[in-house]
Amino acid sequence: MILFVTFSILIFLFITGWIVANKIKNASIVDAMWALSLSIPVLIYITFHNSTHTRKIILLTMALLWSLRLGIHLVKRIHIKHPSEDKRYAALRQKWGTHANRNFLIIFLINATLVFLLSLPFYFSSQFTAPLQSLEWIGITIFITGVIGEAIADHQLNTFKAKPNDEKICTIGLWNYSRHPNYFFEALIWFGIYIFCATSPSGIYTIHAPILITFLLLKVTGIPTLEHHLLKSRGLAYKHYQQTTNAFIPWFKKKTL
């Protein structure tokens, strides 16, 4: 029953977001909604389930840390660009023509479903009444490592962008070992969440959550889209960066002929 109510609330919120997007002619807001809405189902789960107080606090903290960091970043980006629409959605709007608003509704509903699927590890963990287990502490450690690593990667990239220089590619710090260290640590965050929640009964079956995030980063909205743009804007410099630096997992430089 809780899952049905939660999914219904998410559907209602995203339909409302779609209506707003139609009025302002900017479907980009779905990205911010996707990030910010995770804490809603988690709050519902910990409110109506009888897990330990400590576990509830940890679950909500993990959801809020992930949700607010990414959500606030996206809200700022959308606000700066508005009324211009993100290039991805602008291209779709042009491609779909008169069917754009109808098709964007599908995108909003898909995002509502994704949030629901990502919330399922929290659902099972919120029902676990035993004291914190050793595996949960491992999950917390991996989660914190991911949060810190992503924060460092973002800081290094922002520092690079803020300083006027002739370099086209950021290769400082973590960016010397991965072309997308922020994405790597984003995936690590979700594997940490999964490991924490896998201790609970049936929690182990929610492996779809970190796999889904990793798939999106590697194959859909993450690396493919960004690298296509960077190759066009950075040219040979980025091509060389691709040849010498891992795309995802930080590792030592490759040698080129």
For residue range 102-158, list pLDDT tens digits in order.
999 999 999 999 999 999 999 999 999 999 999 999 999 999 999 999 999 999 998
Q: Based on the domain organization, do 111 and 192 belong to the same domain?
A: no
Q: Based on the domain organization, do 118 and 140 belong to the same domain?
A: no
**How confident is the model at residue 256, as a pLDDT?**
63
Give the whole-angstrom CA distance, residue 222 versus residue 238: 16
**Closest to 174 (Cα-Cα) out of 161, 156, 159:** 156
Give residue 229's domain range. 135-257
Place of tokens 């050793």: 134
Q: Based on the domain organization, do 105 and 158 belong to the same domain?
A: no
Q: Based on the domain organization, do 128 and 140 belong to the same domain?
A: no
pLDDT < 50 stretches in the chain: none
Of the candidates 132, 158, 185, which is a domain's last residue? 132
pLDDT digits (tens, 9 = 90+) for 221-240: 889 988 988 888 888 888 98
- 226, amino acid identity: L
Q: Based on the domain organization, do 43 and 167 belong to the same domain?
A: no
Torsion of CA 218, 243, 174, 186, to 10 degrees: 0
Of the candidates 132, 160, 177, which is a domain's last residue? 132
**How confident is the model at residue 108, as a pLDDT?**
97
